[in-house]
Amino acid sequence: MIKKIIPVLVLAMLVLAFVRCRKDEQVNNDPNLKLEFSADTIYFDTVFATVGSITIPFKVYNPSNDYINISSVNLAGNTSSNFRINVNGMSGTQFSNIEIAPKDSIFIFAEVTVDPGNVNNPFVIEDSIVFITNGNQQKVSLVAWGQDAYFHYPDHPETAYLPAYSLISGNWPNDKPHVIYGYAVVDEDCTLVVSAGTQIYMHNDAVLWVYDGGTLKMYGALNNEITVQGDRLDDYYRDLPGMWGKIWLSAGSIDNEIDYAIIKNGRIGIHVDTLGASPNPTLTISNTKIENMSTAAFVAQGSYVKAGNCVFGSSGLYSVVLNIGGNYDFRHCTIANYWSQSTRNTPALVLNNYYKDVYGVYQIRDLTNAYFGNCIIYGANGDEVLLDAYSSGGVFNFTFDHCLLRTTLSITQAGFITCLKNVSPAFINTETHDFSIAASSSAIDRGDAAVTGTILTDILGNTRIVGLAPDLGAYEKQ
């Protein structure tokens, strides 16, 4: 009997010793304690030919010298998520009281199942794992591709000059859509060529960034345009503005060209930054529509831009901002802002030749030329043109040559040549962004053939001069 009792007593003493030892271990309850992760975003970048799944592990670290208790680990999408997780060998969507020893770590395995051939899937499927520790909430994002496409996601770490980014260049094929997640960068001395018919879908906050010395060439075609829009295609989001960042032609980018593109539903359609060393235009843009932007369709600052047969449509603040000087030539363009999703008190077109620096000092940048020939600048507000010249000094050269304007400005002053003021352009449907003109339009036959020059067709490929003279704007009434 004694021989049987002794092992039991020894075992009990060991258990008590362990419990006593464990209780002596301090649990860190500091509300400022933060977990550390091997990655803050897990990308499932494998696109399957058929329905399939992939599992990716990551680590959760305890940086403390004490034990920590993670009170909850939850998959945000719960049971409706495409993702599944395994925590410390247990599968599920919700876990509690996960303990990590001092300076130790645990593995979490995340898995996703997708059918990339299902066109009803969003292009990007997202969820997150939410951690609560001492009342602190942290998360690790989960990102997978929901359809068969070319995906460009941040695979380069953040630097002092760039957020996390992907590098893009060469000739993009148009056989599948391209989806940009995060910052996609055309680096210096690199060129990205986008061919006709290519569909580009931008995730929330995504930016196509042409860096100093880089070049973007978008070569669309009539009835085979390049489209750039948000990647949420379900009904509620399909035509919602502000769904992505912008196309940014940054300072020093060179010889950018865009022809026959449709750019919509972002924050800023195209942002052209200051001029580099090239004597050529920073951007030559033609036969392109930019519309339904939450901030502005087109912004250029201190740059050199040539535009023809373009529509810069309704946006939350401005249609076109030519800021901090520069050199601009717009011919047969329609600048029209009938934004209806909120109150807009800003003009469709702004010209400016100065800015205030971080020290509150005004810096002048010459507007050497802002030429608008055979254009329509119109909108729902009473005054859609702002000439914001510095009050004492600086060059501010502008010309409106055979244009139809909605403005309170005098069109008999210098800078206005044979213009029309506050007469209807008779756009077909401003609510659907159809800025072609009706037969009753005051823009018909009011242009100057000398201004038209080599622009032989309108944005729809129609003969440019039908009647006595060219029509104003991007469309020629047939």
Q: Is the pLDDT of residue 5 over 60?
A: no
Per-residue model confidence (pLDDT) at position 278: 76
Which residue shows structure tokens 């213009």? Answer: 419
Listed range (89-93, 242-246, 298-302) with the worst mean pLDDT: 89-93
Residue 12 — very low, low, confident or very high, per pLDDT cuts 50/70/90?
very low
Order across the sheet with 311-312: list the strands. 150-152, 178-180, 199-202, 226-230, 261-264, 289-291, 311-312, 334-337, 376-379, 404-405, 420-421
Question: Looking at 89-93, 107-111, 196-200, 369-373, which range is the least confident one?
Answer: 89-93
User: What CATH code would you report for 36-145?
Assistant: 2.60.40.2310
* 318 band by pLDDT with thresholds 50, 70 and 90: very high
pLDDT per residue over 400-456, tens digit each? 999 999 999 999 999 999 999 999 999 999 999 999 999 999 999 999 999 999 999
pLDDT at residue 158, as a whole number = 87
Amino acid at 282: T
Residue 116: per-residue pLDDT:
79
Using the CB atoms, write b or e for 231-253: b if 16+ within 10 Å: bbeeeeeeeebbbbbbbbbbbbb
Task: Give the separation between CA 199 and CA 227, rounded to whole angstroms.
Answer: 5
Q: What is the pTM of this model?
A: 0.86
**Cβ-based neighbours of 232, under 8 Å, separated by 6 or more:** 122, 238, 240, 243
| pLDDT on residue 113 | 84
What is d(CA 215, CA 392) in angstroms, rounded to the nearest whole number? 37
Torsion sign across C-alpha atoms 234, 235, 241, 247:
positive
More confident residue, 444 or 4: 444
Tell me phi and psi for residue 236, to 5 degrees.
-65, -35
**Residue 132 pLDDT more than 90?**
yes
At 434, give phi and psi (nearest 5°).
Answer: -95, 100
Q: Given a cut of 70, is residue 4 above it in pLDDT?
A: no
% of residues, the chain, pLDDT over 70 = 93
Q: Could you tell me the sign of the dihedral formed by the alpha carbons of 420, 426, 430, 436, in that order?
A: negative
- For 274, residues 6+ apart whose C-beta sits below 8 A from its C-beta are 251, 252, 301, 302, 303, 324
Tell me, what's the pLDDT at 22?
46
Residue 159 confidence class, pLDDT cut points 50, 70, 90: confident
pLDDT of residue 21: 43
* Res. 47 pLDDT band, cuts 50 70 90: low
CA proximity to 446, closest of 394, 413, 401: 401
Average pLDDT over residues 68-79: 94
Report the amino acid identity of residue 79. Answer: T
- What three-state secondary structure class fits 303? strand
Handedness of CA 418, 419, 424, 427 (dihedral sign): positive
CA distances from 429 to 103, 294, 407, 438 (A): 64, 20, 21, 10
Label the pairing between strands 367-373 and 396-401.
parallel
Question: Which residue carries 């403390």 as its tokens?
Answer: 64
The closest alpha carbon to 42, from 112, 97, 95, belongs to 112
Please list the residues that pair with 131 across neighbouring strands.
73, 138
pLDDT of residue 18: 43
Residue 451, helix vs strand vs coil: helix
Q: What pLDDT is attached to residue 55?
A: 85
* DSSP H or E segment with residue 186: strand 183-186
pLDDT reported for residue 15: 45
What DSSP assignment string belongs to 23-66? HHSPBP--TT---EES-SEEEE-PPPSSSEEEEEEEEEE--SSS
Average pLDDT, the chain: 91
Q: Are 258 and 194 in contact (CB under 8 A)?
A: no
pLDDT single digits (tens) 188-240: 999 999 999 999 999 999 999 999 999 999 999 999 999 999 998 878 888 99
Tell me the pairing of strands 434-437 and 318-331. unpaired
Cα–Cα distances in angstroms (integers) from residue 216 to residues 228, 282, 368, 458, in the given order: 14, 10, 25, 24
Flag whether pLDDT at 7 surpasses 60.
no
Residues 262-294 pLDDT 10s: 999 999 999 999 886 678 999 999 999 999 999
Four-point Cα dihedral 448, 451, 457, 462, nearest 10: -20
Q: How many residues would you count in the chain? A: 478
Looking at residue 19, its pLDDT comes to: 43
pLDDT at 63: 95
Q: Assess whether pLDDT exceeds 50 at residue 9.
A: no
pLDDT at 460: 97
> Token pair for residue 404?
């139809």
Q: Of 111-125, 373-387, 389-403, which range is least confident?
A: 111-125
Task: With cut-offs at 50, 70 and 90, classify the pLDDT of residue 114.
Answer: confident
Top pLDDT among 10 and 209 is at 209
